């Protein structure tokens, strides 16, 4: 079953196409990761899906193309690259904000909403932090709290913009494993953007390589993470190692002096 479908989606800033006729489908339960160099349009594409950016073309969610804001928020939970953490707001209250799309304009949270919040906190092992100020959390804790808010939202589709930004290597693995677990436990469909190609290849079922706003390659990681494609679109020299189990490791190589992009005097 197709959960999320993009058809010829184009975003223009002034005359320049930042996202250029992108089409893609996400099946139920799939993890698709968008990769590509800086400025490729990855984050803009995610923002377009949740209606933050005006676009042409169609975004179809569960077969429907025109969804009101609140209905869309019940289908898609979106975690931006740097979520706001308002100083003074407690973790419990922050996660409770995930229930917003389930409340009417003048409604207040019911017992059920509080239970869903407590459950999301427990699922992400945050129960002990419930009373803390969100602004005082470490990077790893904050990322878990933001995920808890997305889980409390109870949306079947999870959009994550660079979920491992500013995390150390251990926390990166923690967060991505956690997302993978949540995907299985809650049968979520996941769409992420990612910088780290090795992690993208290890966790996503499918990759879409974006360059200049357009899709230039897509498929399973072994099809997309090739030294040729990476050289062409990232202007990077890499070696790709394949393990016996099919998982890939992308290793950057040190460039020779003749390949340096600058022309420093000798």
The residue ranges that bind another protein (CB under 8 A) are 47, 50-52, 69-74, 76-78, 80, 83-84, 86-93, 96-98, 100-101, 103, 106, 108-109, 114, 117-118, 121, 127, 130-132, 153
Helix (H, G, I), strand (E, B) or coil at 129: helix
- Beta-carbon contacts of 158 under 8 Å, excluding residues fewer than 6 positions away, are 76, 77, 79, 150, 179, 182, 183, 188, 189, 190, 191
| Cβ-contact 184, 30 below 8 angstroms | no
Which is it for strands 157-161 and 189-193: parallel, antiparallel or unpaired?
Answer: parallel
| Cβ-contact 26, 59 below 8 angstroms | no
| Least separation in angstroms between CB 149 and another protein | 9
| Least separation in angstroms between CB 51 and another protein | 7
| Least separation in angstroms between CB 99 and another protein | 9
- Of 86 and 219, CB closest to another protein: 86
Q: Which of 231, 227, 229, 197 is nearest to 42 (CA)?
A: 197
| Least separation in angstroms between CB 147 and another protein | 14
- Of 155 and 250, CB closest to another protein: 155
| Least separation in angstroms between CB 131 and another protein | 3
- Of 72 and 240, CB closest to another protein: 72
In angstroms, the CA 176 to CA 82 distance is 17
- Of 63 and 87, CB closest to another protein: 87
Helix (H, G, I), strand (E, B) or coil at 138: coil
| Cβ-contact 100, 113 below 8 angstroms | no
- Of 108 and 264, CB closest to another protein: 108
């Amino acid at each position: 079953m197709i959960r999320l479908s993009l058809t010829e989606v184009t975003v223009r800033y002034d005359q320049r196409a930042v996202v250029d006729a992108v089409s893609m489908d996400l099946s139920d339960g799939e993890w698709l990761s968008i990769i590509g160099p800086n400025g490729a349009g990855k984050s803009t594409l995610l923002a377009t899906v949740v209606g933050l950016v005006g676009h042409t073309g169609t975004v179809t969610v569960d077969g429907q193309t025109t969804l009101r804001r609140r209905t869309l928020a019940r289908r898609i939970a979106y975690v931006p690259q740097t979520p706001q953490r308002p100083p003074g707001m407690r973790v419990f209250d922050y996660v409770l904000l995930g229930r917003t799309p389930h409340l009417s304009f003048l409604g207040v949270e019911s017992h059920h909403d509080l239970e869903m919040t407590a459950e999301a906190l427990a699922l992400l092992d945050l129960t002990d932090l419930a009373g803390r100020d969100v602004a005082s959390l470490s990077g790893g804790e904050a990322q878990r709290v933001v995920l808890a808010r997305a889980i409390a939202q109870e949306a079947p589709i999870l959009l994550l913009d660079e979920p491992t930004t500013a995390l150390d290597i251990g926390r990166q693995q923690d967060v991505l494993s956690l997302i993978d677990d949540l995907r299985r436990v809650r049968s979520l469909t996941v769409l992420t953007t990612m910088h780290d190609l090795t992690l993208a290849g290890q966790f996503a079922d499918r990759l879409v390589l974006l360059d200049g706003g357009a899709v230039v390659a897509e498929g399973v990681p072994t099809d997309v993470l090739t030294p040729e494609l990476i050289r062409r679109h990232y202007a990077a020299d890499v070696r790709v190692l394949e393990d016996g189990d099919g998982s890939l490791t992308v290793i950057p190589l040190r460039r020779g002096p003749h390949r340096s992009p600058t022309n420093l005097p000798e």
